[in-house]
Structure 1
Amino acid sequence: MKKQFAIIGLGRFGGSICRALNEQGLEVLAIDTSEEKVNEFASVATHAVIADATEEMTLKSLGIRNFDHVVVAIGDNIQSSILTTLMLVEQGVNHITVKAQNDYHEKVLNKIGAHKVVHPERDMGVRIAHNVVSKNVLDYLELSNEYSIVELEAGKLVDKRSLTDLDLRLKYGCNVMAIKREDDVNVSPAPDDILLEGDIIIVVGADSDINRMEEALFDDN
């Protein structure tokens, strides 16, 4: 049986999630107070309804507690976001992900029982900052305050060298999770695998270790 998702708030964040879930063939209920937004996603979501998610009876009538995962993607109205989350928690929704506007908003959401709180604008800002600072960093995912997963483009300094030769784990404390070469992806590469200039390597490690490794091996300038 396919999992059922509900997206509350159809702005850029909620709308992008709705489209992505739809592309994966999943059942999605799209909810917004704006008739224009609901009409826009009527052909994207499995169902799209105009509703105020801060009203308890409205959520009950939609059978919201039967959904496997509900995403609260309400935009700038923090009060509506908090009230909606509280309604979902009280109705026993199993998984609730909420978009937060700031750290204070996140604290309140965690206090009232949100299962996961995300900061899409802040997180994207961090990723873009890493891309701007270093031409070698293609993508960046923060795992915690100290650890990250980073995509790096191999240059001349590592061209035709094996992972054993580079010894990234011992020298820099970094683990290579995968190597991408054109359309091929090598997951969990072997120690004798060779890197070529232009390869994309996916590395996990402490931020300080990744920075040391990048400066030593991936900065060809």
Structure 2
Amino acid sequence: MNDKNTVIVIGLGRFGQSVCRRLVALKQEVVAVDRNMHRVEEVADIVDLAAQVDATDEEAMIKVGAKEANVAIVAIGENIEASILATSILRGLDVKHIIARAQSSLHARVLAQVGAHRVIFPERDMGIRIAENIVFPWLSEFAALPGSSYLVGSIEAKEEMWGKTLAELNFRQRYNLTVLLLERKGTKLIPSPDTVFQEGDVLTVIGEREDIDKLKSL
């Protein structure tokens, strides 16, 4: 995708509005639509285009520019039929990337069948995230790699690493993590096998959550 996408957000409840505001903050071009005029008015001042549209009306979607969007986010909440129809219409308009919000596993399967490239469960995912942040407080400092269970983030070199090289530590086998970058006194470098770790070094690592937690706990 280009750095700047044209994103159409369909359904302007709390989730849809939150998506719009974040996309605007990230300097994306945003088209926001909903059947409810009051919801449309709530985001009209911040997005590029806000319109009262029935997302199950293909002609109306074409007029509002859905066909030109790089990304479509079907954020419709409880109206499962409307979310399915809107997703199907978007796929028929050849929108490159369609993200649809699901209410259940069955709903998710149907959305995938009618053309959603990605299905999300905002409430479920947020609940999981909150629970995990309680058990793993450091988790908010790491980013998940899309489509995998790997996390990427920074961790300070542990005392047992000081004065030893990457090779001497046998880092990959010892910690089951890979060091991508090392920051030392504001300077960033890609470590080699003979790089000697020092106190205060900050390592950017990639790996599974459980292995990062073990290292964090040392």
* Structures share fold, TM-score greater than 0.5: yes
Could you tell me how far apart the structure 2 residues matched to 1:130 and 1:155 are? Answer: 24
Q: 1:140–1:67: structure 2 CA closer, same or farther, 3 Å change rule?
A: closer
Offset of residue 58 of structure 1 = 1.4
Which of 119, 122, 126 does residue 120 from structure 1 map onto?
Answer: 122
Alignment of 1:138-217 (within 5 A): 138-139=141-142, 141=144, 143-144=146-147, 147-151=149-153, 153-154=155-156, 157=159, 160=162, 164=166, 166-178=169-181, 186=188, 188-191=190-193, 192=195, 194=197, 196=199, 199=202, 201-205=203-207, 207=208, 210-212=209-211, 214-215=213-214, 217=215
Query: Structure 2 vs 1, CA of residues 135 and 156 (structure 1 numbering), >3 Å: closer, same or farther?
Result: farther
Instruction: Provide the secondary structure at the position in 2 that maps to 1:20.
Output: helix
Judged with a 3 Å threshold, the aligned counterparts in structure 2 of structure 1 residues 204 and 156 are, in CA distance, closer, same or farther, namely closer
Match for residue 28 of structure 2 among 26, 32, 52 = 26
Structure 1 residue 63, shift from structure 2 partner: 3.0
User: Is contact 1:9-1:31 (8 Å) kept?
Assistant: yes
1:96-138, Cα deviation, whole Å (9 max, x unpaired)? 1112222222111111111222223333333333221133434
TM-superposed deviation, 1:159: 7.0
Q: Secondary structure at the match of 2:126?
A: helix
Partner in structure 1 of residue 81 of structure 2: 79
Say if 1:135 and 1:89 are closer, same or farther in 2 by CA, change over 3 A: closer
> For residues 121-163 of structure 1, what are the alpha-carbon distances to aligned partners after superposition, in whole Å with 9 as ceiling and x for unaligned?
3333333332211334344526557x32154644754574666
Distance, in Å, in 1 between the alignment partners of 2:164 and 2:79 is 52
DSSP 3-state at the match of 2:137:
coil
Please give the alpha-carbon distance, in whole angstroms, between the structure 2 residues aligned to 1:193 and 1:11. 53
Q: 1:143 to 1:66 in 2, by over 3 A?
A: closer
The unaligned stretches of length 5 or more in structure 1 are none
Aligned-partner residue type, residue 3 of structure 1: N
Mapping 1:45-56, distance limit 5 Å? 45-56=47-58
Contact 1:163 1:194 in 2 (8 A): yes
What are structure 2's unaligned runs of at least 5 residues?
none
1:6 to 1:181, Cα distance in 2 relative to 1, 3 A = farther
CA distance in 2, matches of 1:198, 1:129: 30
Q: 3-state SS of the aligned residue for 1:43? A: coil
Of residues 184-193 and 24-33 in structure 1, the stretch that sits farther from structure 2 once superposed is 184-193
Q: How many residues align?
A: 213
Residues 30, 45 of structure 1: 8 Å contact kept: yes
Structure 1 residue aligned with 2:41 = 39
Alignment counterpart, residue 106 of structure 1, candidates 102, 105, 108: 108
- TM-score, reference length from structure 2: 0.79
Contact 1:152 1:202 in 2 (8 A): yes
The letter of the residue matching 1:104 is: L
**1:134 corresponds to:** 136
Partner of 1:218: 216
1:94 matches 2:92: no
Identity %: 33
Contact 2:32 2:50 in 1 (8 A): yes
